[in-house]
Amino acid sequence: MPTRKRDDSWLNEQCRVTLARLMPRLEARFAEGIDPAAWRAYTDRLKRYFPRLFNALLTLYGSRYDFFYHLEQILITATESWAGRPDALKALDASRAGDPQWFQSQRMIGAMCYVDLFADDLAGVRGKIPYLSEMGITFLHLMPPFLSPEGDDDGGYAISSYRDIDPKLGSMNDMVELATELRHYGISLCLDFVFNHTSDEHEWAKRALAGDEEYQNFYRMFPDRTEPDIYEENLRAVFPDEHPGAFTYRNRIGKWVWTTFHNYQWDLNYENPAVFNAMSGEMLSLANVGVEVLRLDAVAFVWKREGTNCENLPEAHTVIQAFNALVQIAAPAMLFLSEAIVHPDDVIKYIHREECQISYNPQLMALLWNTLATRDVTLLHRAMERRFTLPSDCAWLNYVRSHDDIGWTFSDDDAQDLGMNPFDHRRFLNEFFTGRFPGSFARGLPFQDNPDTGDMRISGTTASLAGLEAAIATGDDAEIDLAISRILLMYGIVLTIGGVPLIYLGDELGVTNDYGYERDPSLIGDSRWAHRIKADWERAESRHDRSSVPGKIFLGLLRLIQIRQQNLAFTRADTEIVKTGNPHVFGYFRRHENQSMLVLANFTEREQIISARRLRTLGLRKTVTDILAGKIIVATEEMRLAPYQLAVLLAAA
């Protein structure tokens, strides 16, 4: 312990001395022409967060002889960004400082879409803001709109320039105008920060291909297979259909390039501090466009080390923590959203106010679908009971579907504790959701089916996976109603369980799979395009018709959104997962100050019963109100839940 204290004391002193030496240099370079009060506010923030930044960068790069040079360059990048930050965004910085948990409000409702599929271009998205407002949307995630290669672009995730928009969608000025108008409507813009890799058409990659060693060092390149073979002893193939390993040979330079995902996506080398500085500039430029939530893509893969699987390494967290500290200094209104589709125990490690304040909840998503297939809530209950709780200043982003495939990211330990064979169970889920299992209602598609490992993921829209496509094909009205109930059940849970709910646009209208991708040479083989669908605005015209399928889903979803937004139990509240006494019914309490809600979800197509004794044990008064159904429930009598019913009971706090 005394040694630890000396280490901390030494580190703190080095931090103090370093900043004292750098401040005069920054002031000489930037302070002239800046309002003294504004400069003082900025430097106060710099002094507050510099220790975090210094500690993180020292961990990553402290052994380098040029550490202090790169540290100064990173501070210059941050200060230049802050100096160029629009006044309206600096005002937002100040506003969010007074309400740092703003994203935990019950009014937060997220939506995500591709710009071109939703509204053709950025101007079109502006024109659809009233539609988003009608739904109560306050958070809009646009899939990557940046310049990317024609054809092979991984749905926009192969970035050729972080500062240029795909010309088919508009310009960066159009993005600034959209961000501004969204903000006026109370909608926070979310964009992706694809920081693990660039496309091979990025300017840095082009220079590397031209033989520029400075930019070859921006990536991980090897002259022969010696090191790649050592690494691949422990790596998994992310896209086995694309290429079996993680390296691609480029004969122009005679080198093997690290390509975790696709052969046109080159992994950046974060062991090079120049890469960290360059990507800091790209990140902060997005903040100054008006991005309020930055989705950090593929966070698990950013650091590599021989002898490991190169996922979730400690340095990956340190890189994000350093980025976080920079944002607190230069653009503190912006939050980080973690995209870590990894083991549930690893997902949680990215969630912290000093790392990612918000995180996707892939475990909840996967287990909602699992529970629809099994009709048994036991695995869902166990997983949520163990891992749903987060620090009070962080939140989950809960979703039913996204642009990506569904991977069965539940914990093997949880499954084995319940007597399940994880491998066999995943195989069952794949069979069920591709419609191969007898009695399945789902019409999903296999994605990245690996016969060697038995691994497979699932593509498909919410409606097709929930049975709507199959029911419409047979014309069975009862099955159509059950499919609609499944959709609303799952969205009801993500809207009430705690965190930020996210709607994959199109789900609100019940769109089914589009198989047209099979006729497009640039898309064939990637079944995810079955659920990446052009918005059907003619279908949307019927959204207020209560007798139509789109109307039933849209109006049902609006009712759920209203319930969330009108009740404080769904803001900054605690979630307690409870046993309902029925293996087919999932339950949880939401509590905030003097308001408490008990949510019950029937995951079967049959009526389910909750005993009166169980209701009383859960603390319900003799009579409670189901505020979703608008009915009085007598807790001294057994409660009957209709097929796929979600009940939201206003209980005593």
Closest by alpha carbon to 219, among 237, 233, 204, 234? Answer: 204
Q: How far apart are CA 310 and CA 462, in angstroms?
A: 32
In the structure encoding, which two tokens stand for residue 494, read together? Answer: 């993500």
Q: How far apart are CA 166 and CA 160, in angstroms?
A: 10
Q: Known catalytic residue: 297? A: yes
Residue appearing with tokens 């296999």: 446
Residue 466's Cα: distance from chain center in Å? 22
Catalytic residue among 339, 405, 479, 526: 339
Concatenate the DSSP letters of all residues of 205-252 into one string: HHHHHTT-HHHHTTB-EESSSHHHHHHHTTPPPSSTTT-SSSEEEETT
> What DSSP element (H or E) covers 27?
helix 2-30
Q: How far apart are CA 509 and CA 138, in angstroms?
A: 19
In the structure encoding, which two tokens stand for residue 586, read together? Answer: 């999932």
**By the 8 A CB rule, do 329 and 284 touch?**
no
Phi–psi pair at 324, nearest 5 degrees: -60, -45
Closest by alpha carbon to 609, among 651, 581, 649, 635? Answer: 581
- Integer angstrom CA distances of residue 640 from 327, 511, 622, 628, 646: 51, 31, 16, 15, 11
582 SS3 class:
coil
The conformation of residue 348, written as its DSSP 8-state character, comes to G
In the structure encoding, which two tokens stand for residue 158, read together? Answer: 């192969």
Concatenate the DSSP letters of all residues of 354-402 into one string: TSBSEEE-HHHHHHHHHHHHH---HHHHHHHHHH----TT-EEEEES--
CA angle, residues 86, 92, 98, in degrees to nearest 5: 150
- Integer angstrom CA distances of residue 95 from 91, 132, 151, 332, 439: 6, 24, 42, 10, 54
> What DSSP element (H or E) covers 510?
none
Q: How far apart are CA 36 and CA 27, in angstroms?
A: 11
> Euclidean distance between the first and final Cα of the chain, in Å?
45
- Using only the alpha carbons of the chain, give its radius of gyration: 25
**By the 8 A CB rule, do 570 and 496 touch?**
yes
Catalytic residue among 116, 192, 297, 508: 297
**By the 8 A CB rule, do 338 and 360 touch?**
yes
- Integer angstrom CA distances of residue 13 from 23, 381, 513, 610: 15, 48, 60, 62
Concatenate the DSSP letters of all residues of 547-573 into one string: TSHHHHHHHHHHHHHHHHHT-GGGSS-
The conformation of residue 144, written as its DSSP 8-state character, comes to P
Closest by alpha carbon to 380, among 578, 618, 619? Answer: 578
Closest by alpha carbon to 569, among 595, 587, 598, 599? Answer: 595
Q: Known catalytic residue: 538? A: no
Q: Which residues are catalytic?
A: 297, 339
